[in-house]
Structure 1
């Protein structure tokens, strides 16, 4: 999947692509998901600064926009932060509201299953692939074996990571071995020091999200070299 940022010459088209992905995801979900995504889209279209990746708005103003009470705002914003769709860039203090950002990579990953509902051209564009041509019956497509959901927290997280991005999973996550869980921290064992260092530097957010979705009681993930 291409990394998507709504800046530059094609900023307008990229914004529509992001909002289209969110819309398709919401329409494929239940009423609760639809309300949550609609509320986030309302914040994006009215108050989000695409250039600086900043959303600055107080809970009272959000409640007025959403036509709900502030308790509902706290609950739904907590859900969006838990999903990784909203990030806290600077915590509010002394009467100042928090500066929030969008987890665009996480949004696009979570909505990917609904992209085909928009069309094959959209899928090809967002995946960075050329549009599919007429199939050649003399070529047998290679299929990767499915990742079976194993038992335990890491087993569930592995299956989630493989579904999100199989190529990335095969390169960096498949080689991780389950360690121990202690005091809300899951330890994973990498095959080498380089492998562990790369994961810590580049992929920890994705790992934490997958593990927390497998079990919300896990608050930390530690990578050690085998």
Structure 2
């Protein structure tokens, strides 16, 4: 907004317009103070601009048709190589399990789960005291400071009331 001497509302309105036209694709939502990230949707730009290619010139039209009409190679990534093993039917069907609490957190905010909660290791839950192992002191402090509320909510839904969380590094 500062660079083009317009207000933030104008920028937000134009980004919304480009998103509605599917010219921009949001790659990371802007939440809780984080800046959103976008990328151009080249396929949509090509589709919308194709009728104008002959107006630029026959050579441009031929080059663009050659470039965007041909089959582009598709890179196939086998996600099974990167996925965590599926939980067995007994683990997911038993009410009140740590795995189900983690699945709930994953559904609510996948990015946050991957970054923070997936690193947690369940140790025990007795008398309302949840004991977890963290990979580092930094992760422990961050979860205590910023993410304790969603963690407690998910765990209480599965395991019962939580009076205290203890971390072990």
Give the alignment's TM-score, normalised by structure 1. Answer: 0.38
Q: Please identify the structure whose Cα radius of gyration is greater.
A: 2
TM-score, structure 2 length as denominator?
0.49
